[in-house]
Structure 1
Amino acid sequence: MRAIRIHAYGGPEQLRVEDVPEPHAGPGEIRIRVSAASINPFDGKVLGGALAGGAPLAEPIGFGFDASGVVDELGDGVDGVQLGDDVFGLGSQTQAEHAVLTAWVAKPASLDWAVAGAAGVASETAIRTLDLLGVGAGSTVLIDGGSGGVGAAAVQIAVARGATVVATAGPSNQDYLREIRATPVVYGEGWAERVAATGVGPFDGVFDAVGKTPIAELTALVDDPAKVVSIANFSATEAGARLTTGGDGDKVGALTEAARLLESSQLVIKTQTFPLDRAAEGYEAILSGHTRGKIVLLP
């Protein structure tokens, strides 16, 4: 099968589409014929070697953590899904023609394959973080970085839960934030004063979706630094804030909530698609840090 791989860390120029052996579903897993797989910011970090501690890449690696597709293999102990079912969810090395998923839900029939392929990581991350903040009806939350894949999902999910949302983004995305029913604020110098000028608050929680704003500026918005949860600032805990990564949370529960919101159009994910052979262009867009919604690869 064809899959995205690299043989050395670096930029998008390192990406290759290569023929590799097909993966197979292990116990509790399924394999899908991939219809769409998204590129997430974490893929960009892996590509650049940010997690390697300066060591060179020892062997070729693949990319991708979420996808949509048709089930074509069931692992031992799997029930509730059949060969030929349409699903989306979370897995590994999903930027390929076949991929193994470890958490999944049925794809609503009305949902576009590209949107379903973009939903896994963004919605699970958003829901996990909102749950840690206790965001629900009557909550007031600030989402720093509200126009990217995770941030935009978090805005819409929080609004669907009945929360009031202020979100930051660049000047070109202010109208988009209004479209998804957040009070928009331009990020950058003076952003805290602009947040105060909205008249919204006090905040029950702050969701740091991008890791660019100094954590001390975010914790200043709440009465307890633990009410700030970051998915991108790995030094957040030094200031008393919390950091969440992909190892915790109810993944199937989050995907189920996302599927319901997507089907009812309470969650809308904007996508830009590229064929697998043009993956480098998609990665360049992700690495620019100025995307709106999600970048999706179509094998």
Structure 2
Amino acid sequence: MVEPALLAVLINPGAGRGRFNDVTPAVLDRLAESGRPIRVLDPSTREDAQAACHAAVADGAAGLVAVGGDGTVHLALQAVAGTDVPFGAVPAGTGNDFAAATGVPAEPLAAAAAIADAVKAARTRPIDLARVTSPGGETHWYGSVLAAGFDAVVNERANRMRWPRGPRRYDVAIFVELVRLKARRYVLRLDGEERRLDAVLLAVGNCPSYGGGIRIVPTADPTDGLLDVVYADVDRPTLVRLKPKTYEGTHIDHPLVHTARARVVEIEAEGITTYVDGERCLPLPVRIEAVPAAIHLLA
């Protein structure tokens, strides 16, 4: 008798600062209602997690489920992108932007139950991803937003800092970069059409938000086969005033904030490392391509 294909589950116990750990056993119970054997991937490092996800996909898993925030989802997407293995997301992190944008229930147990039902019914929805490539051919996938401006610079500074610990590190990094704020010179190509511009803010979205609900690219739709771009060259006081508006996406109404849409976006600039789904990615220059139906979402 052939054993049914298993459901591989990647759990990040550190996601959301551990506040969802108490519901993890119940999440696994819900997923088991799919009728598939459950294999919990238990890596000790980020590299091990990546390898475990790829191995599960290569072994023909019935699905790969990420239990955590956008960082956990990002790891899993590297393995399932462009394959036939379905993907499920259980939002249990500080930021759950990909799950929110793709219609996943916000409550972890409800999300797990929806995944189990989808597995039983063999039901999936096609969702686009963005593929980022360096000039040397290194490739990464992302689901939500690529930051290549002020927010990327803040992340890079915060990741170099050893003090203070926790969220205050980002507050300090934001303050330092605001003091040092200056526009960068970019070359931006949208489906081959070149624009040379100065900007302090530049983001490319497959989904509308990052950072736990910051709708930096509010018009982005992960099912339209396109990428949405937002860029702006504003001074320090204007940037500070615009920041609160990003939670509603109304910053794009400002006359100095520009939007565009393209299937392929190329970005060049000096001294900037991009961040995707909140994770450190590639230094500029990069090529970003919208890949329609890159994953099959269990929903």
Query: Normalized against structure 1, the TM-score is what?
Result: 0.27
Higher strand share: 2
